[in-house]
A and B are shown apart, each in its own frame.
Chain A
């Protein structure tokens, strides 16, 4: 429509400059226009009857404006207006067609695949139209760019889409060619997190516009897709883990499905889900027992629905390193209590936990239980960091804060903050507020602000209630099924006692509440503190669950095993090694990191750190890790996993030979983790057209985003590209239909108004 009235495309006007071709100076034009307007004004004023009414004067002004405008248009036309543009020279420039050849282009929509649609577009005249004026080159691309002779060589089988890398490769290969424009036909389903700014900057500096042609539906009609699966990368053997699965769907709102967790063929856990509205992001938590020790490739999958367009995006795999280690928990109890006995019995069979106890049996005696050797804790509660930090968890029962020296209290704080240990405080007559913990230096570590008064402990029955957060927590999941778990909590016997734990701090999570004497208050509150975590369980009466529930009911044992496992699972050793992504998609480049600490968990900056990597096909490599500047104790290394498969990495840190030459105890620690490289899986996800990315590429390079049906104007758009070999051209504007239309409109308008107002 624009071109019909204005003779040329909008793009031409945008890129061109309006000039006057007449040899007379332009100032004469403006002078004549002013003079004509003034003359007309005088003439009209001369003929205007005197005295004239106010309405008559207004009508005279309108007639004057129309006549002046008409004269101005005619005068402008006399000066021969034209558009000066920079135009590509015919057949001297190159246009590159890049066709996405990845697997997502094979998706069939409305009876035709995206690849076939691209071919149809090119064969429908676009390619031929461009070829009439420019030289063309055809490329296919997935993870890399390949030049092809014709469209027959297109096969939608590429395992990944890297648009940025392909554009960069094109730019590199055409540095000495007059590349005028790039036409990119793709669904925008990029697996390399978009196009980096450097690539776009290169194209922009060469003024090469990238015209993107979007293929595929921007929104699936019938599809379920898992967006993310979040699960702890490490776990203790036989632990119950919580995985948060984020997904969305189109076309199945309100329908039921099943979320499954599989380890190979074995189903570890499941839960029923009801799909939310189309396109709405949805998160569900599924809990499962991770099983025996080893590296587990866990698959999280949603059932394939009838009529799904893409069934390959219903599952995600995550690696979990399951440790066979035993973690030690130090339990300090200020007085003999049933709770201690029953906790000890609950975790006795848990091979992942070693509960070591110090119990004040009398004023002057400490009874130690489950110590590994007679020297362990023989001197009382630890006073040195290396003694306390040997444990991963710490439980404090009914004992006053002042029983510990200020140095010991500071050590407990550092146990959580620096060592990354877990601290659990139980209720009791000398515990929490009644034990003066609220006024101690450890108040900061606790997940609640304790009450200021005393007498907060009550030997009275209290009922427990699971909170919303608790229903999705692995600590409070007594049975796998969420609904059955909620029922189980409702039927738990009352607690023997309770204590007011105060108010949860911001960021703390309340997993269970208690109800006693008509009051509700938190029962189990957890919080992350520093590198560790803390919790308050405001009772010492859960043992009644064990005695009152039917013989063989595991609720009490399961609860305590899970609570203590939570306390210690993330209490790492002195060497903690990680990889920036545990699952590499198509690209094997990754960064290994390690954090090395000494016995007192202070960073060790001068350690010698090495990663030993075992990979597919017998790969064995030793990679030295180098210190990170400005971050003492942190080491890193770059690594390229060339082959798809699972990789096992053992990072070993030793005292630097210069510091400890020949010392047998120079080993600081080691850590083991795994990661994997997979090829082709990413192509199954986010398969809808990514219009946002395609538009961004086009906008940032001076190109334009096109729908396939709009491509008729593409040739004209490319013709005025600033890149390539160009020439300056002028296009006359006097014969634009819009000009004729304007003149006619002005004349007719004046005539009609004169008729209307009776002005002859």
Chain B
């Protein structure tokens, strides 16, 4: 009777080790030598830290939601469907060193919890103004939006960097796929609830912040959860429609970041 708990513990430790390996980027060095690396932003959450092995989300591990499966599945799609020379696994970057400047695309989730020290905010601002691209995802409703803004405005002041809604004919939706008409992409909770929204985020908001030349530097996916759609794309219960849309949007965003 004691065997099953032991196996469960062993499996848990094994999976934790695998995740840690990805987190530490401890992989074959030859596999690291590619043009594109999917970079996930590790930030300090309000009232927490970004350390630890933990799973799930909230608190100190908010940045790692859906990590690393969402990243790996999306990269598989990117490598399969495009000519981008992409690494097969993700890269974790933070704002405490200049290493982030080697990765001009960065993806962040649960951004309603993010917070930045002055140095981190300055580094992220410089990253974006030099040519970096930030995609934020998986935050829902009014309260999350306000929390997201609190962190964002430490980086990009509202007066200079207003947030605007993206139009269907905006170039970012027509890079490789024409996704001018989009739907709300729910998280995995849709399988249990049948709802495409979370909290009071009923309407998907495709938004962006542009630089002085009109180029999108921050792509904001509010009231939707693309990361979950990638992560659960292989779940037979998760609708293919959502997963497919999430891949197309994500690929278009990567293409845009590599051309603008």
B258 at the A interface (CB under 8 A): yes
Measured between beta carbons, the chain A residues less than 8 angstroms from B257 are 341
| Residues 584-622 of A at the B interface (beta carbon under 8 Å) | none
B33 at the A interface (CB under 8 A): yes
Question: Digit string of B120-137 for contact with A (CB within 8 Å is 1, else 0)?
Answer: 000000110111100000
Question: Digit string of A180-211 for contact with B (CB within 8 Å is 1, else 0)?
Answer: 00000000000000000000000000000000
| Residues 76-103 of B at the A interface (beta carbon under 8 Å) | 81-85, 98, 101-102
| Residues 334-369 of A at the B interface (beta carbon under 8 Å) | 334-338, 340-342, 344-345, 348, 357, 359-363, 365, 367, 369
Measured between beta carbons, the chain A residues less than 8 angstroms from B259 are 336, 340-341, 344, 357, 359, 367, 369
Chain B residue at smallest Cβ distance from A337: B35
B153 at the A interface (CB under 8 A): no
A341 in contact with B175 given A335-B35, A362-B81, A459-B33 (CB within 8 Å):
no
Measured between beta carbons, the chain A residues less than 8 angstroms from B48 are none
| Total residues of chain A contacting the partner, CB 8 A | 32
Measured between beta carbons, the chain A residues less than 8 angstroms from B98 are 548
**A660 to B84 Cα, complex, angstroms:** 50
Smallest CB separation, A342 vs chain B (Å): 6
Contact of A459 among B34, B126, B213 (CB under 8 A): B34
The answer to whether A544 and B102 have CB atoms under 8 Å apart is yes
Measured between beta carbons, the chain A residues less than 8 angstroms from B129 are 551
The answer to whether A336 and B130 have CB atoms under 8 Å apart is no
The answer to whether A546 and B81 have CB atoms under 8 Å apart is no
A340 in contact with B126 given A360-B83, A362-B176 (CB within 8 Å):
no
The answer to whether A547 and B102 have CB atoms under 8 Å apart is yes
The answer to whether B33 and A337 have CB atoms under 8 Å apart is no
**A354 to B250 Cα, complex, angstroms:** 29
Q: Which of B84, B102, B130, B260 has the most CB of A within 10 A?
A: B130
Measured between beta carbons, the chain B residues less than 8 angstroms from A335 are 35, 83-85
B104 at the A interface (CB under 8 A): yes
Measured between beta carbons, the chain A residues less than 8 angstroms from B101 are 544, 547-548
A496 at the B interface (CB under 8 A): yes
B179 at the A interface (CB under 8 A): no
Question: Digit string of B167-196 for contact with A (CB within 8 Å is 1, else 0)?
Answer: 000000001100000000000000000000
Smallest CB separation, A355 vs chain B (Å): 11
Grouping DSSP codes into helix (H, G, I), strand (E, B) and loop, the B interface class, with mixed when no group exceeds half, is loop
Q: Which of A334, A341, A357 has the most CB of B within 10 A?
A: A341
A460 at the B interface (CB under 8 A): yes
The answer to whether A334 and B83 have CB atoms under 8 Å apart is yes
Smallest CB separation, B120 vs chain A (Å): 15
The answer to whether B85 and A367 have CB atoms under 8 Å apart is no
B163 at the A interface (CB under 8 A): no
A296 at the B interface (CB under 8 A): no
Grouping DSSP codes into helix (H, G, I), strand (E, B) and loop, the A interface class, with mixed when no group exceeds half, is mixed
Measured between beta carbons, the chain A residues less than 8 angstroms from B254 are 336
The answer to whether A341 and B33 have CB atoms under 8 Å apart is no
Contact of B130 among A362, A365, A367, A547 (CB under 8 A): A547
**A496 to B260 Cα, complex, angstroms:** 19
Q: Which of A338, A345, A548 has the most CB of B within 10 A?
A: A338
Measured between beta carbons, the chain A residues less than 8 angstroms from B33 are 458-460
Contact of B258 among A340, A365, A544 (CB under 8 A): A340
A429 at the B interface (CB under 8 A): yes
Measured between beta carbons, the chain B residues less than 8 angstroms from A338 are 35-36, 104, 258
Measured between beta carbons, the chain A residues less than 8 angstroms from B149 are none
Measured between beta carbons, the chain A residues less than 8 angstroms from B132 are 547
Smallest CB separation, A349 vs chain B (Å): 8
B166 at the A interface (CB under 8 A): no
Smallest CB separation, B214 vs chain A (Å): 10
Smallest CB separation, A431 vs chain B (Å): 12
**A245 to B160 Cα, complex, angstroms:** 48
B154 at the A interface (CB under 8 A): no
Question: Digit string of B100-121 for contact with A (CB within 8 Å is 1, else 0)?
Answer: 0110100000000000000000
Chain B residue at smallest Cβ distance from A550: B126
The answer to whether A551 and B131 have CB atoms under 8 Å apart is no
The answer to whether B213 and A348 have CB atoms under 8 Å apart is yes
The answer to whether A341 and B102 have CB atoms under 8 Å apart is no
B203 at the A interface (CB under 8 A): no
Contact of A546 among B131, B176, B215 (CB under 8 A): B131
The answer to whether B131 and A365 have CB atoms under 8 Å apart is no
27 CB-based A-B contacts, threshold 8 Å: A335-B84, A336-B82, A336-B255, A338-B35, A338-B36, A338-B104, A340-B258, A340-B259, A344-B259, A359-B259, A361-B82, A361-B83, A361-B176, A361-B255, A362-B81, A367-B175, A367-B176, A459-B35, A460-B33, A496-B102, A544-B102, A547-B101, A547-B102, A547-B104, A547-B127, A547-B131, A548-B101
Contacts A335-B84, A336-B254, A337-B258 supplied; 15 other A-B pairs, CB < 8 Å: A335-B83, A335-B85, A336-B35, A336-B258, A337-B35, A338-B36, A338-B104, A340-B258, A341-B259, A341-B260, A342-B131, A348-B213, A362-B82, A367-B259, A547-B127
Q: Which residues of A contact B (CB under 8 A)?
A: 334-338, 340-342, 344-345, 348, 357, 359-363, 365, 367, 369, 429, 458-460, 496, 540, 543-544, 546-548, 551
| Nearest 7 pairs of A and B residues by beta carbon | A459-B33, A335-B83, A547-B101, A336-B258, A551-B126, A361-B176, A336-B84
